[in-house]
Structure 1
């Protein structure tokens, strides 16, 4: 069997230097007294840092035409204080930027398309490292792996691989970066077959908080490999990864969307619970996902919400429709179906990319509690009537992925703690800019969270790290696991690899600066 080291060298990848086994990581900024740089300007940083960076790298401030795009965020309630943007043109630039920031007592934050929703991001003030130029997708000679750079994102990776006859696991929304979701797990349409986004990553090129470049895989820093798969935002900057790819097995995906009136709610959720246990206790692996919402659709009713549900199947219509027969029998008010390529079907969630002041609260469950869903519906209708300014954007979202692929992987093999969970749900609404409804929206979100968790009273609340918004009721245990050894292990690794807690702006394991 060829070792991973031999594989990396044979395929022309960078095998970054390893740390001395058993030795602590000594941050560069512990080695001498730092001096503070107040009111840094783009011209100053360009003069000092610019000559060290690759040709094509950019350094700019708020007066630059690229500023708005480089600092935009999906959730505009999350507002990091970005003072300057540095946009590296090569992976090797990232270590240089971090060392410069350390030498000048400047905080740094990596941005890849700006979809993180955790409120901890608003605690940041300093230099943003925007990886927008690092878009390399390189299929390796083995035809089983690809190198993906830090700035790659869902739609780009899906299309690039599809054009060459391959697929891989990516996030479900095309505009979202690949690396951010992967560091927290990464749910998507192919996880029933191949696992979560993180499960197919073989190797990480990583820059630590002190600017040291290392390679992380099963034979190099395997302890950190465990942590990167589920809590990776706390440990370093990923500049590129080696990821498994798979030959595409079908040219088309089948989709079928339904709109049901509220009187069908119980029938729909009962059918969903049966469906998700229909194939040896799991969702049929090729039925990649079903997304559904309780939402207002005024073309159908101005007083009652509807259930809008869409199923995506990796294969032809006849196979999919045989599985969907129970839903066809419920009787929808509208239906739509068709067969399209995977890049096309991955674009159905593209509307999720519009920015606004989103208030979100999320939960995870083993199955749907039908009684709780009816209570959520009734609560939703009461709130919509009470707060019409929130009604147009408010919805109760449900995600049901195929589970076989990612649940086959041992739970203790990665930092991600929620492999037994089958469903992700969240409440979301957009608060109009300048309105006084933020507290109202937060209360509505918490009440929805309570109702969902009330539907599983014998279980502790579970929170998917990529959907964690920073609420007080989202405990670290609910995010990183209730087994005490999980947080103990993460904190031990944190002390070794990031002792000064430089990475503390995305659902931090340790909240305060050292």
Structure 2
């Protein structure tokens, strides 16, 4: 470890010589100069005196480097040369300025759950935001100030214990901002909209190192962009967002496991539940979220997937029961139910800290599709394909095909033109995660299966243009499918990009403008997948 204060250099002679040796800033990504291979000790000695005492710099030889760079999904891995951990918000602009001056690409991360292929185009400095973890409920009880490195579990627990909730993603271990900058789907969206709809203001460091505040009254156009396309514009060091009274003391949950012969009945009941895509007239705000998957449960069968489904209701069993009667009528292998406080809901519904969704180190090859109604015929085709591929590739036995159905009242209540998040009309979010131990010989088959599944979903909804929830994107989807087909949306985003990041330094997470920066391309990281060139050409 290179603790920065250990390397603070006070000699005026040293700093004079360093200043004379420093190159001109490399802001356009096309200059030849880079110090990207600097040793962490060198970075600490040069950068350290400018930063607060508790910052850290780690290089590949430091024992902490592995834990700071370990990823939930190593299939598409950014190449990290060094890790810098800011200890205060004021450190971040200085880190960005240092990276720019030395021609070093930078990428801010908190929990390292990003799964898109475009991350593989990165080669440079990771800004690890995990030390920026403050959670400060404001005196008026209407908002909370959060550090840029906070994650869902800590927020849910602290707010709940104080009598509040706020919008966050559905998985406990994932950071707040990663999903939120792409809109952010979650269990409370039926009440409060997607996560970014609860933003009040963001403190953002721009590509040139300038720190600004964005809100409805300060840089409002950028605030609009940060709510759905925020990964393209800056590093969020902290934010203020709305909080709400927590309401009932416990939420009701019920999980079902069905065999495949019940598939048609399950999806017909689900379509009836949300009235074939029209949520009006149903008590769905309280039935906050239901999620299903095709999965292998070895105790039931090692060769044939089962249908796992979970419902969560903000209230009592008695209140929820009328909405579950149709599902109770479908004979299940097993069911489980109960009432628990809201922060425990992820754990009992398959998205908690101890769930497979929070295990690091396995490949998860994703492709998503946004829908309005389940096509029952398509769901059967996808299930049959699942069993076929598990039989052909036993190594893929941990794969899940996932179907998420969110309460949508709060999302629909917000004017879609007020944020960059484009998919308020898609209440159903589906994705496949082909899951296996890293093995390059299986990669081509994993991608082909995932893509075929996505294509079946889209073919089963011929009246819809394909949509991609940006946080679930594989990375080779069209820009329009991620950020919207309405021409004005991309025109506005590209205009803001030219204003706030003209050199496209924020171009590694499903970018609005493809990354054409040769210094950050490392084709060897694609392990022969033949994806790199396609990713960089996306959207053109």
TM normalised by structure 1 equals 0.91
Range with bigger deviation, 257-266 or 276-285: 276-285
Compute the displacement of 1:38 (Å).
Answer: 4.8
Matched, 1:434 2:432: no
* Structure-2 separation of matches of 1:73 and 1:389: 20
* More divergent stretch after superposition (343-352 vs 99-108): 343-352
Which of 412, 415, 421 in structure 1 is aligned with 2:417?
412
- Partner of residue 257 from structure 1, selected from 255, 258, 279: 255
Show the counterpart of 1:349. 351
For the 8 Å contact 1:193–1:405, the answer to whether it is kept is yes
Confirm or deny: 8 A CA contact 1:184 1:465 kept in the other structure.
yes
The equivalent residue for 2:320 is: 320
Per-residue deviation, residues 346-389 of structure 1 (Å, max 9, x unmatched): 23412101121111111110110011111111222222222222
Structure 2 regions of 5+ residues with no counterpart?
1-24, 518-540
Q: Map 1:97-112 to 2 at 5 A.
A: 97-112=95-110
Partner of 2:146: 148
Pick the aligned partner of 2:486 from 479, 483, 497: 483
Please name the residue that 1:453 is paired with: 458
2:405 is aligned with 1:400: yes
**CA offset at residue 151 of structure 1?**
0.4
Q: 1:452 Cα deviation (Å)?
A: 0.8
Q: In 2, Cα distance between the equivalents of 1:298 and 1:42?
A: 46
Q: 2:167 aligns with which of 153, 157, 169?
A: 169
State the Cα deviation string for residues 441-486 of structure 1 (Å, max 9, x = none). Answer: 1111111111111111122111000000113xx1111111111111
CA deviations on 1:221-253 (whole Å, 9 max, x unpaired) are 000011000000000000111100001101101
Q: What SS is found at the alignment partner of 2:136? A: strand
Structure 2 equivalent of residue 301 of structure 1: 301
Q: State the match for 2:511 in structure 1.
A: 508
Question: Could you tell me whether the CA contact under 8 Å between 2:250 and 2:340 is conserved in 1?
Answer: yes
Question: Kindly tell me: are residues 107 and 339 of structure 1, through their superposed partners in 2, closer, same or farther at Cα, counting changes over 3 Å?
Answer: same
Deviates more, 1:178-187 or 1:346-355: 346-355
Q: Give 2:380's aligned residue.
A: 374
Task: For residue 49 of structure 1, give the secondary structure of its aligned residue in structure 2.
Answer: helix
Q: Mean alpha-carbon deviation: is it higher for 77-86 or for 379-388? A: 379-388
Asked whether the 8 Å contact 1:502–1:513 carries over to 2, the reply is: no
Aligned equivalents of 2:339, 2:175: Cα separation in 1:
26
Which deviates further from its counterpart, 206-215 or 353-362? 353-362
Let me know the Cα RMSD of the aligned residues: 1.6
Which structure 1 segments of 5+ residues have no match? 1-26
User: What residue in structure 2 maps to residue 6 of structure 1?
Assistant: none
- What is the match of residue 118 of structure 2? 120
User: How far off is 1:322 after superposition?
Assistant: 2.2
Q: Is the 8 A contact 1:254 1:339 kept in 2?
A: yes
- Give the deviation of 1:306 after TM superposition: 1.3
Residue correspondences, number: 483
Q: Is the 8 A contact 2:191 2:410 kept in 1?
A: yes
1:330 is matched with: 330
Q: What are the within-5 Å matches in structure 2 for residues 27-176 of structure 1?
A: 29=27, 35-176=33-174
Give distance in 2, aligned partners of 1:298 and 1:102. 52
